[in-house]
């Protein structure tokens, strides 16, 4: 029987891709990955346990922010990539410095982050991703800055990192956002924090949702209250409060869908009963590693459940 420690101890270097084995996608079956900054280490653990087991029956995958990053390495068969990206890159001193925001710079330096991801030792295996996406669809949620509408991009080899950056560009902490075709886009968590409604719109009948906050938490913004605490001292509360309201409205809408899905739609959640020890940024290494192990355990528990067996069987 596979154990969490066996998977943790077998995590390869991020550039060491597993064999790019095909897996059969089941029709109308979706995977949705919530964001949450470094809390995404939990999702990384879940998906690494599934990569270890060769489990990927989803024909539609939609991720927001850190969730989009984790789904990327899930589709490129790179076990350990998410763990490395969160612990070594988003945990690096160059990634986040709050004082830069008061100097007109990015508090969260996504430019530096994605420069590192483009280096050979950290690179995503786009060839494997494209091969595995021939019979699947992968989408990253973003928010159009001009009207704050949720927009979804399908990554290709040419735009993958650009749309991934847009999905992760926290408002105000990464200034204007990311330019794509003349428009600016920011973090998808602002307008589509749990993009389950989009999965439904695209025909999914069974939707698995990986959460990074406990199921019982309702109306709590995973990142907005931290943002409010950081910037209100700079007399920017009106805009921050507007962002919080917009985010919370979108979050509540997704929670209502999860709690009362339309007839014929099955929603399966993977989550913890207690909050993760990791936060948005600045988490301790031991907290990140503990939450990664919790993710592995949650992934293995799901694989041993009757639900995963029904999904694999197409029932």
Alpha carbon distance 197, 267 (integer Å)? 11
Catalytic residue among 48, 59, 109, 187: 187
- Alpha carbons 189 and 170: distance in angstroms, whole number: 8
| Distance of alpha carbon 257 from alpha carbon 264, whole angstroms | 13
Three-class DSSP category at 52: helix
Task: Respond yes or no: is residue 187 known to be catalytic.
Answer: yes
């990384």: which residue's tokens? 44
Q: Is 293 a catalytic residue?
A: no
SS3 70: helix
* DSSP assignment letter at 119: S
**Interatomic CA distance for residues 122 and 116, integer angstroms:** 7
Residue linked to tokens 């428009």: 183
* CA pseudo-torsion sign 276, 277, 278, 279: positive
The SS3 of residue 153 is: strand
Give residue 56's Cα distance to chain centre.
Answer: 16
Please tell me which residue in 17, 49, 59, 65 is annotated as part of the active site.
65
Catalogue the active-site residues.
65, 187
């Amino acid at each position: 029987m596979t154990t969490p420690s066996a998977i943790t101890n077998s995590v390869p270097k991020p550039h060491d891709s597993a064999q790019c084995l095909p897996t059969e996608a089941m029709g109308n079956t979706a995977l949705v990955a919530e964001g949450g900054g470094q809390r995404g280490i939990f999702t990384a653990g879940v998906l690494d346990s599934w990569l270890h087991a060769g489990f990927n029956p989803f024909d539609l995958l939609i991720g927001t922010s850190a969730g989009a990053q984790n789904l990327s390495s899930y589709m490129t068969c790179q076990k350990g990539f998410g763990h490395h990206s969160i612990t070594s890159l988003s945990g690096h001193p160059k990634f986040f410095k709050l004082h830069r925001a008061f100097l007109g710079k990015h508090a969260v330096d996504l430019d530096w982050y994605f420069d590192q991801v483009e280096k050979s030792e950290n690179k995503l295996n786009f060839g494997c991703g494209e091969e595995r996406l021939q019979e699947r669809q992968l989408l990253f949620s973003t928010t159009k800055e001009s009207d704050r509408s949720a927009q979804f991009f399908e990554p290709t080899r040419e735009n993958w990192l650009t749309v991934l950056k847009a999905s992760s560009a926290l408002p105000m902490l990464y200034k204007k956002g990311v330019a794509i075709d003349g428009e600016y886009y920011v973090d998808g968590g602002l307008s589509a924090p749990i993009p389950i409604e989009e999965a439904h719109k695209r025909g999914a009948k069974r939707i698995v949702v990986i959460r990074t906050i406990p199921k019982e938490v309702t109306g709590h913004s995973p990142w907005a209250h931290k943002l409010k605490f950081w910037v209100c001292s700079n007399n920017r509360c009106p805009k921050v409060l507007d962002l919080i309201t917009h985010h919370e409205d979108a979050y509540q809408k997704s929670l209502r869908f999860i709690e009362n899905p339309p007839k014929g739609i099955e929603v399966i959640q993977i989550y913890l009963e207690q909050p993760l020890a990791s936060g948005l940024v600045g988490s301790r290494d031991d907290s990140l590693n503990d939450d990664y192990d919790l993710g592995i355990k949650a992934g293995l528990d799901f694989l041993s459940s009757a639900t995963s067996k029904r999904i694999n069987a197409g029932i």
